[in-house]
Copies of this chain bind each other. A is one copy, B any other.
Amino acid sequence: MPAIFDPEADILSGDTADVYFIRAQEILRQEDLNPVVTMEVFTSREGLLCGMEEVLALLRRVLPSESHVWALREGDTMTAKEVVLRITGPYGAFGLYETAFLGMLAHQSGWATAARECVHASGGIPIISFGARHVHPRVAAQLEYAALVGGFAGCATPAGARLGDVSPTGTIPHAMILIFGDTVEAIRAFDRHISPQVNRVALVDTFKDEAEESLRVAAALGDRLWGVRLDTPGERGRVTPDLVKEVRARLDQAGYDHVKIVVSGGMDAERIRLFVERGSPVDAFGVGSAVSSAPPIDFTGDIKAIEGKPVAKRGRIPGITENQRLRKIDLSPD
């Protein structure tokens, strides 16, 4: 999964760093102290590691060549308290970026771990990330990248899709159907103007009963219709496993076996599991909040050696922590 990350100016300047790291840099410079230290970064709890590629891109920019870095791979599972990153280098070169690299790992590992839980629940049915609208647009791409690292099959934004090296996925927004005033008119317009490479998927809960509308759009587009999406709102009882079964049965009875069914709206691992257990014939799930609402997984960075001598603050064990899973990183530019 090739991913190109490029650290931004305000990260490199320390503008988004905790100010005490900025002051520490200044003091140490004034005191002419710049020892080679070993810092270890460990996770607070088990999960799926994500954000490491972006962290390594940052470290490659700032670390002098004589430094050494060991890390787990993007997408590796991690156990509670496991060391996922070890840096040996002059403190003055990377101390300022502790806030940044902890944050990259924390936010993205939280999302990727939640995504993986949905993937485990779906038993092979593909899942698309629909969560961009629940996070700040500055991290929408990172959210979707993390969902892909967690095993999702696709995502909705071009920026996220680019990070994950896939094509973005989408149907038709309710707004457009409302403007056309009829679902069939809207899907016909989509069919007229959008590249044939893009699947035709009709959203069928805007105006009419979902089963009735599914039959109408299938009749209108015939074989060109790839699928329908059910997104029934909570006010109408959300999508239920039985609704999918019924729509499937009515489509099949009318000869539209080729039309797939996409389900979205408040889907999380528990609800996905319910659909799977009930044998509901879903072809793909759309998942948003279940990933975007996942709390970050906190990481901690500890100095464990200074000029080769084991040290640690109270509460931690001095010296390097053994972890055979760490692999040595090549710090030369990508």
Closest chain B CB from A332 CB (angstroms): 24
Q: State whether A135 touches B158 (Cβ < 8 A).
A: no
Contact of A235 among B130, B171, B179, B240 (CB under 8 A): B240
Q: State whether A316 touches B138 (Cβ < 8 A).
A: no
Give bound CA distance, A104 to B137, whole Å.
7
Name which of A69-77, A220-228, A241-249, A322-330 contacts chain B: A241-249
Residue numbers in B under 8 Å from A242 (CB-CB): 234-236, 315
The number of chain A residues with a CB under 8 A from chain B is 116
Q: State whether A171 touches B233 (Cβ < 8 A).
A: no
Name which of A60-68, A94-102, A117-125, A269-277 contacts chain B: A94-102
Task: Tell me the residues in window 179-215 of chain A with beta carbons closer than 8 Å to chain B beta carbons.
Answer: 179-180, 189-190, 192-194, 198, 205-209, 211-212
Knowing A189-B31, A240-B237, A318-B249, say if A18 contacts B132 (CB, 8 Å). Answer: yes
Task: Report how many copies the assembly holds.
Answer: 6
Q: State whether B211 touches A314 (Cβ < 8 A).
A: yes
Question: Within 8 Å of chain B (Cβ to Cβ): is A134?
Answer: yes
Residue numbers in B under 8 Å from A102 (CB-CB): 133-134
Give bound CA distance, A253 to B311, whole Å.
11
Give bound CA distance, A130 to B102, whole Å.
13
Contact of A253 among B104, B211, B310 (CB under 8 A): B310
Residue numbers in B under 8 Å from A113 (CB-CB): none
Q: State whether A27 touches B135 (Cβ < 8 A).
A: no
Interface centre among A212, A294, A299 (most CB of B within 10 A): A212
Q: State whether A136 touches B108 (Cβ < 8 A).
A: yes
Question: Within 8 Å of chain B (Cβ to Cβ): is A170?
Answer: yes
Q: State whether A295 touches B293 (Cβ < 8 A).
A: yes
Contact of A194 among B27, B39, B310 (CB under 8 A): B27
Residue of B nearest to A311 (CB): B178
Question: Within 8 Å of chain B (Cβ to Cβ): is A107?
Answer: yes
Give bound CA distance, A242 to B313, whole Å.
13
Q: State whether A306 touches B179 (Cβ < 8 A).
A: yes
Residue of B nearest to A246 (CB): B317
Contact of A136 among B103, B175, B317 (CB under 8 A): B103
Can you report 8 residue pairs joining A to B where beta carbons are below 8 Å apart?
Answer: A19-B158, A26-B193, A30-B193, A37-B179, A107-B134, A179-B303, A208-B314, A253-B318
